[in-house]
Amino acid sequence: MAKSQVTFNKIEKEKKRLKKREDKQKKKDARKAESKENPQGIQFAYVDYNGNLTDTPPDPSMKIKVEAESIEIGIPKKEIGDDEPTAKEGKVSFFDTSKGFGFILDSINQEKYFVHVSGLLQPIAENDRVTYELERGQKGMNAVRVKKI
């Protein structure tokens, strides 16, 4: 005689599956009954003038009128004459002409800035006094438009 293909484990899995289905149906029925008893409709959340979520509508007298022309899109261009001078002075602390890069030591704040041969206006060497401008590079600030004093 052949042994039955239905094992204890299969029977238990089927019982669990049926129980889950039954529980899910009970929860669904309970939610339906609750919604019929308490028809509240759609719940609203309001945003007040500070950007916080509230359950009460915001006061229209607190609304601030903003002119569309006053909104700036993008980064404003830096104008000459802003708080920093455009040309800085420093001293070349290291420059390798064969590799085409070096470093400039700022005379004011003693910071080192990377300089590449593509940012030179004149050839420079170590210990030269130079003027330069700063631009943001991939790894930090780079000296560009470098020339001897």
Please state whether the predicted TM-score (pTM) of the whole model is above 0.85.
Answer: no
pLDDT at 2: 67
pLDDT digits over 34-60, tens only? 877 766 666 788 888 788 888 888 888
**Whether residue 139 is found in the same domain as residue 96:** yes
When mean pLDDT is compared across 59-68, 105-114, 136-145, the lowest value belongs to: 59-68
C-alpha distance from residue 118 to each of 3, 50, 78, 89, 144 (Å): 85, 49, 23, 19, 8
Structural domains counted in the chain = 2
Listing DSSP states for 91-131 in one string gives EEEEEETTTTEEEEEETTT--EEEEEGGGBSS---TT-EEE
Domain of 42 in residue numbering reads as 10-65
pLDDT digits over 91-124, tens only? 999 999 999 999 999 999 999 999 999 999 999 9
Distance, in Å, from the CA atom of 26 to the CA atom of 16, rounded to the nearest integer, reads: 15
Distance, in Å, from the CA atom of 115 to the CA atom of 138, rounded to the nearest integer, reads: 13
Phi, psi of 70 (to 5 degrees): -80, -10
**Residue 27 domain flag:** yes
